[in-house]
Amino acid sequence: MTSESDLVVIVTGLSGAGKSTVLHALEDLGFFCIDNMPVPVMAETLAACAAGGVQRVAMGIDVRVRSFLDRAAEMIESVRVPGRRDVDILFLDAADEALLRRFSSTRRPHPASYAIAESTPSIAVLDGIRLERERLAPLRARAKQVIDTTELSVHDLRRRILEHYGPGAGRTARMSTKFLSFGFKYGPPVDADVMLDVRFLPNPFFVSALRPLSGRDPMVRDYVLGSEDARTFLAKASDLLEFSLPRYEREGKSYLTVALGCTGGRHRSVVFAETLGAALAEKTGLGIDVFHRDIDRDPPASTTGESFIGGLGKGVNRTG
């Protein structure tokens, strides 16, 4: 699918197999979701969505559409436009025993009871399942993907949908990722998903030549990354994020913030945000933006009472 193409996902399958879970997952991914869609108005509905700039639509179709179901396969094919609109049919199935258990737990009648005639008494659940399988067979035969939910929990099913249609699946933009430096003295960012603390490393604030500079300066960068602890931390943090970022994306996160904090948010955290952001963008292929929340805050004017040995502060770090 090209980025210019619209995408329509037809969610169908047996009642009790998880269509509501799938529609909710797709809605969370930004799809415009319509359940129990009468197929005669499908083309007009999609045209209205396109006119409104809606490119991703999910439609639930099952036996509840009653006599309209007979034309469903024909209408679905008619709205497919190569190069402009892709249509995926996603069929959800499950073993009869599993469906019976699910209907027993909800105590609801099978929807096929209403698919025969208004005057027909409700039919047994197992008979409804068999009737539904028969009526949905043409859609199942055309399905791009069939998911058997017999052994899947709602969480497993949601994960499958996110993997197939979510960020990084080739149908949508990749997860938006932000690396943010900050100073703990000004408070941690409230929107951080992952937070790393680099206050244990030597502080450039206590080197007079480095104090007025920021972590963007090569001299500060060389100083911060000059210690063995800094290089080890950088390698371990890079490994952690290289492992975890694609998995956050696979779980369906649209955006993620990695926050790196030092005391004042001017030196050490800036160096690590810049360095890790560049490295992880190359390793993961994600578009990573780097922001420095506190880099322009004024450092304290005085360091009275603090001990300096060889230009390195041995007392309490107050900024940097």
Q: Which residue has the higher pLDDT, 14 or 231?
A: 231
Question: 203-233, pLDDT tens digit by residue?
Answer: 999 999 999 999 999 999 999 999 999 999 9
Question: 254-278, pLDDT tens digit by residue?
Answer: 789 999 999 999 999 999 999 999 9
Whose CA is closest to 63, among 119, 4, 138? 138
Q: Confidence band (pLDDT; 50, 70, 90) for 31? A: very high
- Could you tell me the fold of the domain covering 6-165? Rossmann fold (3.40.50)
Per-residue pLDDT, averaged over 169-176, amounts to 66
Q: Which residue has the higher pLDDT, 238 or 155?
A: 238
C-alpha of 97 from chain center:
33
Please give the DSSP secondary-structure letter assigned to residue 210.
Answer: T
Of the ranges 13-17, 74-78, 252-256, 305-309, which one carries the lowest mean pLDDT score? 305-309
CB 256 within 8 A of CB 280: no
Question: 275-296, pLDDT tens digit by residue?
Answer: 999 999 999 988 899 999 999 9
CB 8 within 8 A of CB 34: no
Q: What is the pLDDT of residue 311?
A: 41
CB 54 within 8 A of CB 8: no
CB 260 within 8 A of CB 198: yes
- The CA distances from residue 170 to 32, 62, 163, 227, 244, in Å, are 19, 28, 10, 41, 19
Q: What percent of the chain has pLDDT over 70?
A: 81
Q: Which of 67-71, 209-213, 316-320 has maximum average pLDDT? A: 209-213
Q: Which residue has the higher pLDDT, 190 or 273?
A: 273
309: pLDDT strictly greater than 80: no
Q: Which of 38-47, 87-96, 199-208 has maximum average pLDDT? A: 199-208
Q: What is the pLDDT of residue 298?
A: 65
Question: 296-308, pLDDT tens digit by residue?
Answer: 986 555 443 333 3
Q: How many of the other CB atoms lie within 10 Å of CB of 309? A: 8
Q: Which residue has the higher pLDDT, 175 or 8?
A: 8
Q: Confidence band (pLDDT; 50, 70, 90) for 74? A: confident
Per-residue pLDDT, averaged over 142-165, amounts to 88
- Mean per-residue pLDDT of the chain: 82
Q: Which residue has the higher pLDDT, 22 or 305?
A: 22
Rg (CA), the chain: 28
Per-residue pLDDT, averaged over 57-66, amounts to 79
How far apart, in whole angstroms, are the C-alpha atoms of residue 10 and residue 152? Answer: 20
Question: What values do phi and psi take at 291, rounded to 5?
Answer: -125, 150
Per-residue pLDDT, averaged over 124-150, amounts to 84
How far apart, in whole angstroms, are the C-alpha atoms of residue 177 and residue 255? Answer: 6
Q: Longest Cα pair distance anywhere in the chain, in angstroms?
A: 93
26: pLDDT strictly greater than 70: yes
- The CA distances from residue 148 to 91, 96, 121, 154, 252, in Å, are 9, 11, 30, 12, 21
Tokens of 139: 């859609």
Question: What values do phi and psi take at 138, rounded to 5?
Answer: -60, -35
CATH 3.40.50.300 residue ranges for the chain:
6-165
Q: How many of the other CB atoms lie within 10 Å of CB of 256? A: 21
319: pLDDT strictly greater than 80: no
